[in-house]
Amino acid sequence: SQTIHQWPATLVQPVGSPLSLECTVEGTSNPNLYWYRQAAGRGLQLLFYSVGIGQISSEVPQNLSASRPQDRQFILSSKKLLLSDSGFYLCAWSRQVGNQPQHFGDGTRLSIL
């Protein structure tokens, strides 16, 4: 069966510090990978998605970037965090883009001080 892992589960960072969140998927090959942000009490906003190694599409211009160095690894980064980067970050995978279910990890709660 397929599993998705995100770490860390919680993170507290000062403004201006760098960020690296990691997501890995097991049990499947060539998944589509996604990063979402969820504000408190709100729906999910798609930040980035990737259909293959090195292929990143950005949905929302912002202070964040994503990379996919390996088939089942997806990384969310920032060089300098802003207060507005606080939120709940979720990674997801699907077998293909479009009308297929997406499966989510348990997220990282990021607080910027």
**Site residues, other proteins (CB under 8 A):** 6, 41-44, 46, 49, 59, 90, 92, 97-107, 109
d(CA 27, CA 3): 7
Nearest-approach distance from CB 11 to other proteins, in angstroms:
14
Strand partners, 5: 24
CA distances from 59 to 5, 15, 38, 93 (A): 23, 24, 14, 16
Nearest-approach distance from CB 41 to other proteins, in angstroms:
7
Determine phi and psi for 56, rounding to 5 degrees.
-125, 130
Nearest-approach distance from CB 81 to other proteins, in angstroms:
21
Nearest-approach distance from CB 21 to other proteins, in angstroms:
13
d(CA 113, CA 100): 38
* Closest CB to other proteins among residues 56, 109: 109
* Closest CB to other proteins among residues 13, 102: 102
* Closest CB to other proteins among residues 4, 14: 4
